Structure 1
Amino acid sequence: MTEPLTASEYRDLLSDALEDATEADTRRPTAHTLFMPDSHRTALYVDNTVVQGGRGVGKTFWYRSLLDGALRGFAADEYRIARLRRLSVSPGHGMDLNSACYPGSLDLHRLVEAGTPPYEIWWAVLLTALGQPELHDLSEWSDKVAWVRTNPGPAQRTVEQADRRAAEENTVHLLLFDALEHLHGEREHADRLVSGILQLALHMRFGTRNIRFKVFIRPDMFDGAKHHFPDAAKLSGNAARLQWSRTDLFGLLFHFLGNEDSEQAVRFRRLTGGWESDAQGHRHVPPLALRNEERAQTELFERIADPYMGGNFRKGRPYTWLPNHLMDGREQVSPRSFLQALATAASDTRATRPSHDRALYHESIRKGVQKASEVRVLEVSEDTPWVQLAIGPLSGCQVPIEEPTVLGLWEDQGLPQALREESARYAQADESGLVRTGPRHPDDLPRLVEELIGLGVMRRRTDQRLDLPDVYRIAFRVGRRGGVPMAAG
């Protein structure tokens, strides 16, 4: 019989398994980390062009997984999508510097400033992916785009020939797009660039049988692009959303614990039972109950964490309390925030309660939420730095709060002018080569509220007062009666 893991061993397993789990943008997906929630199946359908999701929900993870033939094979088996095995996949835009496949931020900026239609830019990217020989001999993207403009006939014939060859070979050319928030620093130009991608994607969707785009995009950017390309709404019918239910989140946790390369992970799999492993032992899939059933997940998690968030059940149970306090304004939880909270809780329990009879002490879980809130705000500030300018004036206030009060604070602190000045700096790439975008309407404060709601940073209650979810409220030092206490200092 397998010896049960002690609280200390569970704590070590948590720390080891979650050590890099929150670094999704820099950590490449592997067989060990490839967890596939049932709700993400539609995101991998080849004909589903648009995949919407906020920061930290898995857009980049799936983008990189689809670029990897071995990981596509795992997904084809898990989701029973045989078509995933018959793909020729190319990157159309992403976080990686890859000037052979698509223009970087500086090239895009110059092309936009020169008045190049976005549609022509993405045509050049598509033809490059399809192996158009004349483009292969051109190193500059301005020259590639110029070739597309002056050779419309050969450009179209390249697509037609590639489509026919793919049909003969029973394959599909799939072009992937990610990190669209870094296309251009000016929101208007960023929206137009996204519109160009969607326009060409729609053209391929209805004009070819075997050339498809898959566009991983934030919901607010998809909505903005539709203002410049109304036909983008035609892509909404089969759009997918990357969302995480509570069972998905805990299934992800148990997947990480079972796929850690350690003796504790082997014992964990034996103790919980029913795991399926591939022939090479590279990937271990949790049993269905640990992926989808709240009762089984609760029972296991309460072996790991305190059963209550205090002295009794009135304080809440960690299984429900933790994800509830990590929800954004759209009631979505980022798996990155969830794993960050657990990693912090394990570390804090080790430091403050090393002899505790559970791996996770309830007060350490609270500290984990505080840390996850800080990290979440940093993430949002990286993508949309203007959010920090907008929420900063609310520090010290209590939510829910009346909208006129918020607008008055913004006016008193000169927010419109600050946003205009900050937006002027977004147009230039930072030291990492990334560009940022400002709000669409810095001078229209009521519409700024709606942008924050669209990002999930704010939400509007039924009584029309504005609220901030805990995952943002805590780090911004905004109070709420009965909320998670803010850290001192």
Structure 2
Amino acid sequence: MTEAPLTAAEYRELLSTALEDAAHADTRAPNASNLFMPDSHRAALYVDTTVVPGGRGVGKTFWYRSLLDEKLRELAAAEYRINRLRRLTVSPGYGLALKSESYPGPQVLRALLASGEDPYDIWYTVLLAALGQEDLRVRREWADKVAWVRTNPDPAQRHLEQADRQAYGENVVRLLLFDALEHLHSDREQADRLVAGILRLALQMRFGTHNIRLKVFVRPDMFESAGQHFPDASKLSGYAAELTWSRTDLYGLLFHCLGNEDGELAGRFRAITGGWESAPDGTRHVPPLLLRNDEASQSLLFEQIADPFMGANHRKGRPYTWLLNHLMDGRGRISPRSFVQAVSTAAQVTGSGHPAHGRALHYEAIRSGVQAASEARVREVGEDTPWVKLAIEPLAGCQVPVPEPQVLNLWEKEKLSEKLAEDSARYAQADEPRLVRTGPRHPDDLPRLIRELEDLGVMTKPRKDGRLDLPDVYRIAFGLGRKGGVPRRTG
């Protein structure tokens, strides 16, 4: 007997439950059911890929945590056909979690730098501790550990060489992972120094050892700016693989979430779409290739879920493409978190405002989803890089594209450089160790501030006349207007 299609209300229910926690990916532990593996991420998982650049919400922390988990590494090894993932011993070098036994936290890092320690020595100490150096194991404080490494270079190097020989003989790779580098230090200059120290160590291990490697998950702008303190960082570009999400990746993620939700509706969804591969214990369901990689198949399925057009006819656009075009940042990147947030909100808004609608997602609700995703994205910017919020808020009420001189005048009128300096000082003096953020590289140079916003994808300069624009994923929540564009939510 053929499985009956899901009704609009059933699709809305499945979307709401399956996407409920997706906006909190950084705090959600990865597991077999939520481990989605886009083809485009395969290169980032290569053992010899040293640098993995990626913006907020693209999966850096998710992969960092997944690689620390032996069972999830096995799934990735099978999916991506990377056998070396099965021969790893993985340790954390830095991350969001406070793990003083593995690495120094933000306040300790600040104290180490203030005492004159070289960032390279700090991370070299972290690596040696992960490799089980006995003299470090018996020392409790990181200041004492770093001092021992600095004053005992010969035994430190001998232990590193011995650990490399042992790993080579056992045919395993000792891998040290780094994530959440935007939380290293409140002062951007110091944060860049710390990242440069990690990259120096990563480069040395890449060329100086057989089986000891670092993998560094880092924001692209931080990778670029670290080169000011470590010119050889450019050599690592050949061993870098950015975490990007194509259109098919994002819709593949959506369908993966629907098919891996608990309950009858997810089972019916898998039966209707067909071709899923399921683990014997039912903990994991993999969508068929057509739902992961084929735009035509994805679009056909999504148009059973959403309205076919973003208005009365095709001139208003089709949801499959319209949605992603309005979630793209200034560098053409789309955060999966923003995408999932938009679809989840669209399901909720349709259910409350258009409960009898014939599709699970009303086109006006999809617009509301983009508005909600913009608000969430701007909140993230406020958490990670408060200086961006300080820079864009004075532009509220402007119509984009906006002339660059007008932007600079508004910034000067608001005394932006002074505010940036005050904000940096406030975070530097914070007692809470998690209140560590990065500031702009050139707070006193307002034209260069525009370049930094372009690097982050918050601002663009697409016009020959030099006018500046903001992509909708930032523009809407920051309160800037655009003729014919998606308006800011008023309710």
The normalised TM-score by structure 2 is: 0.98
| CA drift at 1:354 | 1.1
2:19–2:340 contact (8 Å) kept in structure 1: yes
| Residue 59 of structure 1: aligned partner | 60
CA distance in 2, matches of 1:81, 1:380: 35
| Residue 236 of structure 1: aligned partner | 237
| Residue 488 of structure 2: aligned partner | 486
CA distance in 1, matches of 2:470, 2:266: 38
Task: Write the mapping of 1:80-99 to structure 2, written as runs, cut at 5 A.
Answer: 80-99=81-100
| Residue 269 of structure 1: aligned partner | 270
* Residue aligned with 2:90, SS: strand
Residues 147-190 of structure 1: CA deviation (Å, up to 9, x unaligned): 10111111111111111111111100000000000101111110
Residues 254-292 of structure 1: CA deviation (Å, up to 9, x unaligned): 000000011100110010001111232211110000001
| CA drift at 1:137 | 1.1
| CA drift at 1:429 | 4.5
1:94–1:178 contact (8 Å) kept in structure 2: yes
| Residue 41 of structure 1: aligned partner | 42
| Residue 302 of structure 2: aligned partner | 301
| Residue 164 of structure 1: aligned partner | 165
Task: Write the mapping of 1:359-374 to structure 2, written as runs, cut at 5 A.
Answer: 359-374=360-375
Amino acid in structure 2 at the alignment position of 1:394: L
Amino acid in structure 1 at the alignment position of 2:80: Y
Sequence identity (%): 69
| CA drift at 1:106 | 1.0
CA distance in 2, matches of 1:223, 1:363: 40
CA distance in 1, matches of 2:55, 2:296: 28
CA distance in 2, matches of 1:451, 1:109: 25
2:186–2:436 contact (8 Å) kept in structure 1: yes
Residues 209-243 of structure 1: CA deviation (Å, up to 9, x unaligned): 10000000001100110010001110001210111
Amino acid in structure 2 at the alignment position of 1:465: R
Residues 76-121 of structure 1: CA deviation (Å, up to 9, x unaligned): 0110000000000000000011100000011111101111100110
| CA drift at 1:430 | 6.2
Gapped regions of structure 1 (runs ≥ 5): none
CA distance in 1, matches of 2:73, 2:227: 30
Amino acid in structure 2 at the alignment position of 1:79: Y
| Residue 444 of structure 2: aligned partner | 443
| Residue 330 of structure 1: aligned partner | 331
Q: Which moved more, 1:51-60 or 1:432-441?
A: 432-441
| Residue 126 of structure 1: aligned partner | 127
| Residue 468 of structure 2: aligned partner | 466
Task: Write the mapping of 1:96-111 to structure 2, written as runs, cut at 5 A.
Answer: 96-111=97-112
Residues 120-157 of structure 1: CA deviation (Å, up to 9, x unaligned): 10011001110111111111100110110111111111
CA distance in 2, matches of 1:430, 1:308: 51
Amino acid in structure 1 at the alignment position of 2:169: E
CA distance in 2, matches of 1:431, 1:272: 49
| CA drift at 1:26 | 0.5
1:258–1:266 contact (8 Å) kept in structure 2: yes
Amino acid in structure 2 at the alignment position of 1:342: V
| Residue 413 of structure 2: aligned partner | 412
CA distance in 2, matches of 1:319, 1:253: 12
| Residue 140 of structure 2: aligned partner | 139
| Residue 204 of structure 2: aligned partner | 203
1:394–1:478 contact (8 Å) kept in structure 2: yes
2:307–2:359 contact (8 Å) kept in structure 1: yes
Amino acid in structure 2 at the alignment position of 1:479: G
| CA drift at 1:12 | 0.7
Change (3 A) 1:67 1:428: farther
1:2–1:267 contact (8 Å) kept in structure 2: yes
Gapped regions of structure 2 (runs ≥ 5): none
Amino acid in structure 1 at the alignment position of 2:417: P
Amino acid in structure 1 at the alignment position of 2:472: D
CA distance in 2, matches of 1:243, 1:432: 30
Residues 289-325 of structure 1: CA deviation (Å, up to 9, x unaligned): 0001010000100111111111111111100000000
CA distance in 2, matches of 1:107, 1:3: 59
Task: Confirm or deny that 1:215 pairs with 2:223.
Answer: no
Amino acid in structure 1 at the alignment position of 2:479: R
CA distance in 2, matches of 1:206, 1:194: 19
CA distance in 2, matches of 1:429, 1:267: 51
1:396–1:477 contact (8 Å) kept in structure 2: yes
2:106–2:433 contact (8 Å) kept in structure 1: no
Change (3 A) 1:2 1:328: same
| Residue 380 of structure 2: aligned partner | 379
1:202–1:235 contact (8 Å) kept in structure 2: yes
CA distance in 2, matches of 1:415, 1:231: 34
RMSD: 0.9
Amino acid in structure 2 at the alignment position of 1:40: H
| CA drift at 1:432 | 6.3
CA distance in 1, matches of 2:43, 2:284: 22
* Residue aligned with 1:410, SS: helix
Task: Write the mapping of 1:274-289 to structure 2, written as runs, cut at 5 A.
Answer: 274-289=275-290
CA distance in 2, matches of 1:370, 1:228: 39
1:428–1:435 contact (8 Å) kept in structure 2: no
The normalised TM-score by structure 1 is: 0.99
